[in-house]
Amino acid sequence: MKYKNLVLIGILQLCIIPPLFGQLSKVLNAVDFDVHYNSGLFLKSEVTQVVGYGYSGALDFPLGNSFEMSLAAGYFKNTVNQDSAVKNWGWDFWEEFYSIRVENFQETYDVSQSTSQELLLYPVTLSVVFQPKWNENVQPYIEGGLGVVAFKRSLWLDETWGKEYQLASGEKYYYDYNFDTYAVPKEGRLFVADVGTGVNIFFWEKFATRMNIRYVSYPDLSGMLGDNYSVHYDRFPARSSLMFSLGIKISY
C-alpha cells in the first residue's frame, strides 16, 4: 500500500503540478496517461500464468529531430498462478508447523485449502521515443527505455474448516469457517529494459488517444550486482512480459 500511495503521489506531481505551476511546463512537450494489460513471459519455478492490469503517467520532453524523452511511473496489480505454490515458496511456517497441524486435524475436520498469489509492480522508466511527423493526425512511434521496478509478491491460503455436529435431539448440523493464512511477502527491486511501438491519433491539435505494445525484459544481472540482486531476481515469477496499452496524450 505504501508503494501504491507513493506512485499515485508521484504521478500527480509529475503530470499535474509542473504544467500548472512550475517552470518545467516551459520545456514539456506533453503528458501521457495510460492503462495497461500485462502478461508475463518465460515464467519461472512452475509458474503457469502472470496477468494483470495497471496504469501510468509520463512526462515527455523534446530532444529535437522527431525525438523525445519520456519519464514514466506506474502501478500494476497481477495475479500469479503456480503449480505446487506452497512448496515453491519456501514457507518455513507451513513446512515446520502448520502442515503438520492440518494433517493431524483432518481426521476430525473437513479441510479445504487453495492458494492465491498477487504481484504488485511499481516501475519507473526513462525512454527515448522516435515519432516522425509524417501526418498531423496519425503519428506512429517507436521507443526504448531503461528503468527500475519495485515489487511485492504475496501468497496466501484460502482455507475452509468444517465439521458435522449432532444435537441431543438427534438433529445434525454442519458448521464451517473460512479464513486466509498469509505467508511472508517476497519483495525486491529489479532493473528493466523495454522496447515498444505505438501510434498517437490526434482528434484535436493538443489532444490524442494512444495505443501501444511493449516488450519488457527483467534481465538477470546477478553476475554484476551480486547475491542480493540474485535473491530479488529469484523471487520474481517472470523473465519478461508483454504489455498492451491504451491512453491519452495532452500536448503543450
Residue 50 belongs to what domain range? 2-84+120-154+187-228+236-251
Distance CA 3, CA 236 (A): 17
Helix runs in the chain, H state only: 2-15, 17-21, 85-89, 92-93, 99-105, 222-225, 227-235
| Position 73 in a domain | yes
Task: Give the pLDDT of residue 147.
Answer: 96
The string over 146-170, giving b where at least 16 C-beta atoms fall within 10 Å of a residue's C-beta and e elsewhere, is: ebebbbbbbbbbeeebeeeeeeeee
Report yes or no on 224 lying in a domain.
yes
Residues 197-241 pLDDT 10s: 999 999 888 899 999 999 999 999 999 999 999 999 999 999 999
Residue 209 in any domain: the answer is yes
Cβ neighbours of residue 197 under 8 Å, at least 6 residues apart?
Answer: 140, 141, 142, 143, 212, 213
Consecutive 10-residue runs of the chain (252 residues): their mean pLDDT? 57 54 68 96 94 96 90 96 90 82 80 92 96 87 96 94 82 87 94 96 90 96 92 96 96 84
Tell whether 219 is covered by a domain: yes
Q: What is the largest CA-CA distance in the chain?
A: 88
Q: How many domains does the chain have?
A: 1
Q: What are phi and psi of 233, to 5 degrees?
A: -65, -40
On whether residue 167 sits in a domain, the answer given is: no
Whether 181 maps to a domain, the answer reads no
User: Which residue, among 233, 211, 237, has the nearest Cα to 222 in the 3D structure?
Assistant: 233
Domain of 129, CATH number, reads 2.40.160.20
Tell me, yes or no, whether 197 lies in a domain. Answer: yes
Cα–Cα separations (whole angstroms), residue 30 to 8, 63, 138, 207: 19, 13, 16, 9
36-66: b (≥16 Cβ within 10 Å) or e:
bebebeebbeebeebebebbbbbbbeeeeee
**Residue 92 is assigned to a structural domain of this protein:** no
C-alpha cell at 69: 524523452
Query: How confident is the model at residue 40, as a pLDDT?
Result: 96
Residues 75/4, Cβ–Cβ less than 8 Å: yes
List, as one string, the DSSP characters of 37-49: EEEEEEE-TTEEE
pLDDT at 13: 53
The pLDDT assigned to 21 comes to 45
